[in-house]
Amino acid sequence: MTMSTNMLAGMGTGRNRRPYLIKEWMFTRGLTQNDIRDRLDLSQSVVSRTIMGSANNRRVLAYLRDEGCPVHVLALPEDMKV
């Protein structure tokens, strides 16, 4: 297992997600999971699981990408890469 593998995530692209770097990026911009939840009208668990890599909610990933989160830490599915 490499250092870039997210041990908290399930299978698929989320296993390479870097949740702590995503949270660091969010913190520097004053963005919280609650902000994302409210903006996208989703449950807190969906937002959290997507950031942690155990889910791949495309709305959350697209929001983070569009807000400027580095794509390499999001480990986007192939069809979401720009």
The number of folded domains in the chain is 1
Whether 47 is covered by a domain: the verdict is yes
Residue with the larger pLDDT of the pair 48 and 15: 48
Whether 81 is covered by a domain: the verdict is no
Whether 49 is covered by a domain: the verdict is yes
Q: Distance between CA 14 and CA 56 in Å, rounded?
A: 7
Q: Which domain holds residue 62?
A: 18-70
Whether 11 is covered by a domain: the verdict is no
Whole-angstrom CA distances from 9 to 38, 66, 82 are: 24, 23, 23
pLDDT interval class at 52 (50, 70, 90): very high
pLDDT of 1 strictly over 50: no
pTM here? 0.83
Whether 9 is covered by a domain: the verdict is no
**Residues 4-36: pLDDT tens digits?**
555 555 556 678 899 999 999 999 999 999 999
Whether 66 is covered by a domain: the verdict is yes
Whether 42 is covered by a domain: the verdict is yes
Return the pLDDT at 4.
Answer: 54
Query: Phi and psi dihedrals of 19, rounded to 5?
Result: -60, -35
